[in-house]
Amino acid sequence: MDKIKKLSMDDYPEISKLSQFAFQYTLDEEAYEKKRKQETGLDVYGYMVEGKLAGKLHILPLEVILNEEMIKMGGIASVATWPEYRRQGIAKKLMYHALEEMDKKDITLSYLHPFHVQFYRKLGWELSFDNHHLEIPMRSLKEIYQVVDGYVERTDEKMEVVKAIYYQYALNYNGMLNRSDHWWKYRVLREKDWQITLAYNHAGEAEAYVIYKVKEDILYIHDFAYVNAHGKRLLYSFIANHDSMAEMVKITVPTNDLLRFSLADPIMKNDVEPYFMVRIVNVEKFLRLYPFSGDSLNICIKVTDSFYRVNEGIYQIKQVGNRISVMKLETGEAQMNCTVQQLAAMMLGYQCPLHLLENECIHGDEERIDMFKLALQTKQTFLPDYF
């Protein structure tokens, strides 16, 4: 009999076998053990057919930063089915089960990296992150980032300082991970050949870090953050000092980053990658947690969700005194009509409600939707991590 069950680390050999087949990679003994440790603490659900693993998915219990508040997020990863069981709706059944499990745990947001955007859109996820992959000629950096007042230190012993800089940088964006120590160890710092460098101002205060490597005349930036403009200058001045080793810098930056614009010659390769998708697991719970701003919000939003119908309905969001009241109504007139996908993109800041209205993606009253937009007080979305 077919059923979905929660798998344990005792099942990891079968879990890994399916992952390696589906995603076309091979692990030696050392890499296998490293991957197993990396995936400790995940919830893995398997779809069983006559006692055999036919398909599975992983849920990563994570936290993300949204308007400087911490929100629980379930990361969906490693969705895979053996070929002989495909085209039977197994992936959809696992995704629905994952939503139910996350809902039970009051996890209100879910991220995933799509193999096929259209497939996951049908299940309620929506693109909410873009990455800009720049290939910057080293000479372009050298032209404007000369010596800056401060100094750098190559170290792998001051990770608490690195983590603090990352967190302060992450507050400037919506959707970045609140990285755990486990995430830093097994995800960010998983490769041994990355160099970690901290940059300090003249007072000895750490203002930036970069994790990078140089290979075949290219400087690859794996991770970076800075706390202010001086830290940014320190960071790029240090990178530019590798001009004798590398001719090119490869870096991934947020959509609103002005690095390319600030260079004397901004013409360079700039690949824009639609990156991660986001879903609101439970709309009512998420709206209650969301850090709205302002003092005049009053709107009813009709949300459609054809996959997880728990979310279908009209939600009244209203300022009452110094708090926001959220009620799910049985009936009523809505001033905004949208899908659960569109709602997620708006509330993270990836899409502007008024822009969606102008392009007839959503419908409703322009004045109320403008009020809703102001209450979101959104920031640029950015996600430098991957799973």
CATH of 3-107, one of 1.10.3720.10, 3.40.630.30, 2.60.40.1580, 3.50.30.30: 3.40.630.30
Q: Which residues of 209-244 are buried (b: 16+ CB within 10 A; e: fewer)?
A: bbbbeeeeeebbbbbbbbbeebbbbbbbbbbbbbee
**CATH for the stretch 131-272:** 3.40.630.30
* Single pTM value for the model: 0.94
pLDDT tens digits for 55-89? Answer: 999 999 999 999 999 999 999 999 999 999 999 99
- According to CATH, the topology of domain 283-376 is Nonspecific Lipid-transfer Protein; Chain A (3.30.1050)
Strand duo 298-304 + 336-339: pairing: parallel
Q: What is the pLDDT of residues 168-212, one digit of tens each?
A: 999 999 999 999 999 999 999 998 899 999 999 999 999 999 999
Q: Rounded to the nearest 5 degrees, what angle is found at the Cα of 386, between the Cα atoms of 381 and 387?
A: 125
Higher-pLDDT residue of 26 and 143 is: 26
User: What residues does CATH 3.30.1050.10 cover in the chain?
Assistant: 283-376
Other beta carbons within 10 Å of 265: 11
Q: Give the count of beta carbons closer than 10 Å to the beta carbon of residue 52.
A: 12
Q: Where in the chain is the domain with CATH 3.40.630.30?
A: 3-107, 131-272
- The sign of the dihedral angle between the CA atoms of 253, 256, 258, 260 is positive
In the predicted model, is pLDDT for residue 330 greater than 90?
no
